[in-house]
Amino acid sequence: MSDVILIVDDEDEFRDVVSALLELNGFEVLETQNVNEMYSHLENRNISLILLDISLPDQDGLSALKELREGNDIPIVLLTGKGDINYKVVGLELGADDYITKPFHSHELVARLKNILRRSSSNNDNGSGAAQNDDMIVFNGWKLDTHSRTLFAPDGENIAITGHEYAILSALISAAGRTLSREQLLDHIGANSRDYTPFDRSLDVMVAKLRRKLKDDAKNPQYIRTIRQVGYMFIGKIE
């Protein structure tokens, strides 16, 4: 069964172009131009991922993202012409899985969506708990499965993490006890780091979200220590 992607954008021509691109790559696509219709689709269809524009006629896309995140873990990608770093930071803080600025390369969009959907599928498949295997990294009772890219809390709960958060955590663990610079961590994020620079707040936002999921206090950290003006260090106990 094909993944179903819902495009929420008020530009008819843009929706047509993106819809055609996604259908050529094997996705089923639904379209809407406002938030109200988006909720109608969510009630009636099993949506795999939402491409959400920020500027919409009936409601701001960021406020819609905040509402969705209160009771829904569906992958959401902000797709917008607003390239200001503040929009990117706010979107990530509100729970967006990714942020793509128009114009974009078609191959990049498809690659990002496939990566997010693959990660989401892995999280769902492993929701019943973690099994011990050679790909499991254990630290302070937490388990990071490097095969499924899944994080499990000490009580066995599957903690949903984004691809960027996984890349940051696995890189820090691999270099445990050593400082990784901001540039090194952005390199570990991979090809999708094109929109990020070592001097914006995006990396700090991603680390802050990861800390919240790990219940790690930045002022008295157990796992991730901030090295001022340099980067971050993993200080957890790896078993």
Q: How many CA atoms lie within 13 A of 95 on its CB side?
A: 18
Across the beta sheet with 28-32, the strand order is 28-32, 4-8, 49-52, 76-80, 98-101
User: Does 98 score more than 80 pLDDT?
Assistant: yes
pLDDT (tens digit per residue) in 62-92: 999 988 887 677 899 998 776 667 778 888 8
Q: Give the single-character DSSP code of 46.
A: -
127 or 32, which is more confident: 32
Residue with tokens 């090295």: 227
Give pLDDT, residue 193.
45
Lowest mean pLDDT among 108-117, 146-155, 192-201: 192-201
Residue 21 near residue 110, CB atoms below 8 Å: yes
Q: Please state whether beta strands 98-101 and 150-152 pair in parallel, antiparallel, or not at all (unpaired).
A: unpaired
Pick 4-122's CATH classification: 3.40.1000.10, 3.30.9.10, 3.40.50.300, 3.40.50.2300: 3.40.50.2300
Phi-psi region of 10 (alpha: psi -120 to 50; beta: other; left: phi over 0): alpha
Average pLDDT over every residue of 129-145: 75
Residues forming CATH 3.40.50.2300 domain(s) in the chain: 4-122
Mean pLDDT over each residue of the chain, to the nearest integer: 84
pLDDT (tens digit per residue) in 159-206: 988 888 888 999 999 999 999 988 888 877 764 444 555 555 778 888
Q: What is the CATH number of domain 129-234?
A: 1.10.10.10
% of the chain residues with pLDDT over 70: 87
Give pLDDT, residue 200.
58
Residues forming CATH 1.10.10.10 domain(s) in the chain: 129-234
pLDDT (tens digit per residue) in 26-56: 999 999 999 999 999 998 888 999 999 988 9
151 C-beta neighbours (distance < 10 Å), count? 25
